[in-house]
């Protein structure tokens, strides 16, 4: 009897010890699996280069990329390129947000205003931005203005269209209830329209973020004197694959960081949206 009781107690203690561990791995499963897959890929990539399965001139390797990035940091040129691209991104994306969000709200809310501007929005949205590069360079030159214009045109339409769709999908019952309580247009926008359109608006910002990064690289490759895209263009023309990969990693890392920041903002606004409806 005593032995059976001790065995049960021992088993319960073991189960209690294992429970936190299993819950921890359950919570971190995605992070752990993602880390393992990335590390395995990097090891395989490095081994494939050393085993000469692929040509290092065209593919580089993780260690060579790290070495190239370290040299670029020591040279100091990478900081100027990052500052130039960051300024172009900030101005273009900021301007697109300032213009795209209000225009999307107004076009989604006012039918006549939408009828006036929709043909122009549809035409420019459907036109590949790269087709406008020659005109943009002619109008703005190869300095800062042309890159900001490219980033702006690449970003503003995803933001505008998603915001407009978000306003159009506002539940009309909420609008009727707000109107019945005598809500003004300003109150209607703040308490009904904006909270309902927040998911669409933030989706537009996330889409615009990707388009903005593409616009920076394409614009600087087409005509520039500095920037990450310009550096990648020069490195690619001289078969410096390591430096090209450094530029790609910088762009990708920047996109991941800013996307994560937008996700955090989305979580904050989701709480505000629920509270405003409650």
> From CA 234, how far away is CA 169, in angstroms rounded?
47
- For 234-246, the pLDDT digits (tens) are 888 888 888 999 9
Radius of gyration of the chain (CA): 26
- For 7-31, the pLDDT digits (tens) are 445 544 444 444 445 566 677 777 7
- For 196-205, the pLDDT digits (tens) are 777 888 888 8
pTM of the model: 0.77
In sequence order, the 6+-apart residues with CB closer than 8 A to the CB of 12 are none
> From CA 129, how far away is CA 33, in angstroms rounded?
38
- Superfamily per CATH, domain 61-277: MetI-like (1.10.3720.10)
* CA of residue 208 relative to chain centroid, distance: 7
Helix (H, G, I), strand (E, B) or coil at 81: helix
> From CA 240, how far away is CA 255, in angstroms rounded?
23
Taking the domains of the chain in order of start, what are their residue ranges?
A: 2-54, 61-277
The sign of the dihedral angle between the CA atoms of 3, 8, 13, 15 is: positive
């Amino acid at each position: 009897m005593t032995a059976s009781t001790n065995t049960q107690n021992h088993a319960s203690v073991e189960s209690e010890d294992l429970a936190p561990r299993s819950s921890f791995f359950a919570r971190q499963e995605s992070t752990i699996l993602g880390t393992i897959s990335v590390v395995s890929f990097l090891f395989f990539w490095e081994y494939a280069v050393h085993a000469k399965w692929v040509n290092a001139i065209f593919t580089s390797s993780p260690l060579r990329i790290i070495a190239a990035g370290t040299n670029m940091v020591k040279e100091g040129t990478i900081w100027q390129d990052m500052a130039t691209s960051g300024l172009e991104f900030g101005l273009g994306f900021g301007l697109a947000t300032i213009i795209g969000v209000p225009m999307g709200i107004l076009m989604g809310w006012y039918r006549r205003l939408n009828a006036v501007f929709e043909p122009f929005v549809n035409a420019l949205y459907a036109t590949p931005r790269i087709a406008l590069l020659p005109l943009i360079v002619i109008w703005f030159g190869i300095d800062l203005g042309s890159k900001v214009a490219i980033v702006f045109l690449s970003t503003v339409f995803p933001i505008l269209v998603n915001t407009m769709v978000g306003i159009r999908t506002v539940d009309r019952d909420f609008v009727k209830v707000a109107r019945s309580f005598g809500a003004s247009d300003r109150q209607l926008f703040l308490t009904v329209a904006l909270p309902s359109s927040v998911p669409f608006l933030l989706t537009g910002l996330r889409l615009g973020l990707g388009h903005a990064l593409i616009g920076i690289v394409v614009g600087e490759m087409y005509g520039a004197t500095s920037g990450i895209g310009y550096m990648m263009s020069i490195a690619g023309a001289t078969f410096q694959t390591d430096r090209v990969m450094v530029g790609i990693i910088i762009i990708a890392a920047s996109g991941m960081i800013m996307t994560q920041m937008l996700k955090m903002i989305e979580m904050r606004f989701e709480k505000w949206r629920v509270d405003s409806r409650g």
